[in-house]
């Protein structure tokens, strides 16, 4: 059987910050909607993650840092002790299977609905601009509600939500956390001038728009120390909700990335292109140049296949590669890629909801 590990070091161990990985193949964060309305993980989730523990690193599905941060029904949380206890079962099982797992910390900002918010409150955002697209509530698909702009003095409370979640993720036994600053959720809503029209110290100039994400990074690294906190950015995606891009991507994200360097993060993780759609960037944007401003390890994601990963790795454009959809339907993706075994295609009908079906019933290949 052909062994692709003779052609690339993607199948060899690597350290991202202080996190030691058995290989450079990462499972991208994947929301799967298999959690109850209290956001408490369960046995199904344990099975699902253990089946995928041969990934060098699992990045958990996006996990709500607070009840306010929630924008989709059946998504997990990390703000109650019950959630910590049940996540602990996931991390223990992944570790027993030889894997590593970090938690993706999520606040959706405006991508929510009053039905999902405590006491039917409006979702919060940098500015009161309604998101496009849909959100999933217990009643089904609905349009996002018009958000309320956060007052300046409420921002400390948002940072505290991240700090608290980071602490609880530590108690739950994760190997680190990934700050979800991608896909136009709260942090990216602050970064982009298309979604941030504020006039206080969190809006206007680039320095002001990236202030919140840097304050969140400071709070989270305060809990975890350096080397165990990663960050996900998606400078050119319009997902979710067909969100307009920033008017000066190279300058805004370039400044942000340089400001991240002193925090000695475990890694920077980009969605390279439009999430799950294409790898196209506007003409004046070069994501490889942006990435090169970062002094730590880099994970590339979005529409990769093995050959693209090998090629970009050989040019030192990535340190590791994250696969999303392929991990849904190929729990043993690492071995399949290594030995050129055909991949099973995923079924988008069962991406969200549907219990066991399309979740834990994907077989490993025969070797
Ligand atoms: C079902 C599904 C759920 C996803 N959930 C998340 C998520 O929770 N957090 C996130 O940052 N990205 C999420 N994404 C985006 C993926 O992490 C990834 O960026 C995207 O699928 C492109 O990678 P791929 O081409 O390898 O699938 C999701 C994608 C899919 C298909």
Q: Is 34 in the pocket of ligand 1 (CB under 6 A)?
A: no
Predicted local confidence at residue 1, as pLDDT = 78
* Tens-place pLDDT, residues 67-125: 999 999 999 999 999 999 999 999 999 999 999 999 999 999 999 999 999 999 999 99
CA of 29 to the centre of ligand 1 (A): 6
Q: Whose CA is nearest to atom 29 of ligand 1?
A: 30
Ligand 1: atom nearest CA of 182 is 11
Homologous superfamily of the 9-320 domain (CATH): Aldolase class I (3.20.20.70)
User: Does the active-site annotation cover 298?
Assistant: no
209 lines ligand 1 (CB under 6 A): no
Residue ranges, the chain, pLDDT below 50: none
Residue 4 CA, distance from chain mean position: 28
In short, whether 164's Cβ falls inside 6 Å of ligand 1 is no
Q: What is the pLDDT of residue 190?
A: 99
Question: What are the residue ranges of helices labelled H in the chain?
Answer: 43-51, 81-96, 155-171, 186-191, 206-209, 211-224, 249-260, 287-292, 306-314, 325-329, 333-338
pLDDT at 367: 74
DSSP assignment string, 136-200: EETTEEEPPPPPEEPPGGGHHHHHHHHHHHHHHHHHTT-SEEEEEE-TTSHHHHHH-TTT----S
CA of 324 to the centre of ligand 1 (A): 5
Measured CA to CA in angstroms, residue 69 lies from 65, 66, 131, 163, 211 at distances of 6, 5, 15, 13, 19
**Overall pTM > 0.85:** yes
The domain spans of the chain are 9-320
């Amino acid at each position: 059987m052909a062994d692709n590990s003779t052609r690339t070091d993607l199948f060899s161990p690597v350290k991202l910050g202080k996190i030691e990985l058995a290989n450079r193949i990462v499972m991208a964060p994947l929301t799967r909607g298999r959690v109850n309305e209290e956001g408490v993980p369960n046995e199904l989730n344990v099975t699902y993650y253990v089946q995928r523990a041969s990934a060098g690193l699992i990045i958990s599905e996006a996990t709500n840092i607070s009840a306010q941060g929630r924008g989709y029904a059946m998504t997990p949380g990390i703000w109650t002790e019950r959630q910590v206890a049940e996540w602990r079962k996931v991390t223990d099982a992944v570790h027993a299977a030889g894997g590593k797992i970090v938690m993706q910390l999520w606040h959706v900002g405006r991508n929510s609905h009053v039905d999902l918010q405590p006491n039917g409150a409006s979702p919060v955002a940098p500015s009161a601009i309604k998101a496009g697209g849909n959100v999933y509530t217990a009643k089904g698909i609905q349009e996002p509600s018009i958000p309320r702009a956060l007052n300046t003095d409420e921002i400390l409370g948002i940072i505290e939500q991240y700090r608290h979640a980071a602490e609880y993720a530590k108690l739950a036994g994760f190997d680190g956390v990934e700050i979800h600053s991608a896909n136009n959720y709260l942090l990216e809503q602050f970064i982009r001038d298309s979604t941030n029209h504020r006039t206080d110290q969190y809006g206007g100039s680039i320095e002001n728009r990236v202030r919140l994400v840097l304050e969140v990074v400071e709070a989270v690294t305060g809990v975890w120390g350096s080397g165990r906190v990663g960050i996900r950015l998606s400078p050119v995606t319009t997902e979710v909700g067909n969100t307009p891009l920033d008017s000066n991507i190279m300058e805004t994200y370039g400044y942000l990335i340089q400001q991240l360097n002193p925090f000695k993060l475990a890694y920077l993780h980009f969605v390279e292109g439009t999430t799950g759609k294409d790898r196209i960037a506007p003409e004046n944007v070069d994501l490889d140049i942006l990435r090169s401003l970062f002094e730590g390890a880099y994970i590339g994601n979005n529409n990769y296949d093995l050959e693209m990963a090998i090629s970009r790795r050989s040019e030192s454009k990535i340190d590791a590669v994250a696969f999303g959809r392929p991990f849904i339907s190929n729990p043993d993706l690492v071995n399949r890629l290594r030995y050129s075994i055909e991949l099973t295609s995923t079924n988008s009908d069962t991406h969200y909801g549907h219990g066991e079906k399309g979740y834990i019933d994907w077989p490993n290949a025969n070797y």
